[in-house]
Every structure is written in structure tokens, then in C-alpha cells.
């Protein structure tokens, strides 16, 4: 099982939108609906922001949205704010009691 593929970095100006991709295979993202996204600020534990591809936990702003098509998932952050600057990780269930993460994307707010 290989890690999911994310771009190492992304950036945008305040108020803009940015989309981060996460590519897997038919054995993980393409095979299950359990795709999640996590936000991690420096020195902090990760925080769940999207689950089951498109759902937001209570308290997560609707500026964060998720999508999935085939073996690729994506996270869009709209109306970028300074506090959105963080590392973002995708994850997927991979069958056989496996879980797999992406390598992470560092989002910079210019």
C-alpha cells in the first residue's frame, strides 16, 4: 500500500480559492467513500475538516469543501484567510483494515 499523492505546496491570496488534490487508486480512494481531510497547524494535533469525501464536521466553516471523482479527491478552501495557512492531509480507508494518508500539502496564504 502506497501513500496517497498530494502536491507538496499550494498558495493563494486572502479571499481567493485554492484546491488541493489527493490521488490514490481503486484500492483506496476509488474503492471506498471514506476519504477525509485534516488540517494541521504547527505544533498542533491534526483536525478533521472533511469526512466521507464531502461532509463537514460541526464547527468547520463552509469555506472548506470536498469532492471526489474516481481515484482522486480534492479539498477546496474558499475565501482564504490567514489562519488557513497550515498543512493539509488527505486519508482514505484502504480495505483489509488499512488506512492510508497523503504526504501532505503546505498551504501558504500570500
CB of 25 to another protein, least distance (A): 16
54 binds another protein (CB under 8 A): no
Site for another protein in 14-33 (CB under 8 A): 32
| CB closer to another protein out of 39 and 71 | 39
Query: What is 40-79 written as a DSSP string?
Result: E-TTS--EEEEBTTTB--TT--TTEEEEEETTEEEEEE-S
Beta carbon of residue 26, minimum distance to another protein (angstroms, whole number): 17
Report how many residues bind another protein under the rule CB under 8 A: 27
What CA–CA distances, in Å, run from 109 to 35, 48, 61, 98?
Answer: 25, 20, 17, 33
> What span, in angstroms and rounded, lies between the C-alpha atoms of 29 and 110?
31
Q: Which spans of this chain sit near another protein (rule: CB under 8 A)?
A: 1, 3, 32, 34, 36, 38, 40, 45-48, 51-52, 57, 87, 89, 91, 93, 96-104
Amino acid at each position: 500500500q502506497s501513500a496517497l499523492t498530494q502536491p507538496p505546496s499550494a498558495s493563494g491570496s486572502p479571499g481567493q480559492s485554492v484546491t488541493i488534490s489527493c490521488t490514490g487508486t481503486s484500492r483506496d480512494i476509488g474503492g471506498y467513500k471514506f476519504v477525509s481531510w485534516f488540517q494541521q497547524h504547527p505544533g498542533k494535533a491534526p483536525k478533521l475538516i472533511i469526512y466521507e469525501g464531502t461532509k463537514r464536521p460541526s464547527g468547520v466553516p463552509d469555506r472548506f469543501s470536498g469532492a471526489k471523482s474516481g481515484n482522486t479527491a480534492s479539498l477546496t478552501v474558499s475565501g482564504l484567510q490567514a489562519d488557513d495557512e497550515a498543512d493539509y492531509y488527505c486519508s482514505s480507508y484502504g480495505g483489509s483494515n488499512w488506512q492510508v494518508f497523503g504526504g501532505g500539502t503546505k498551504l501558504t496564504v500570500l
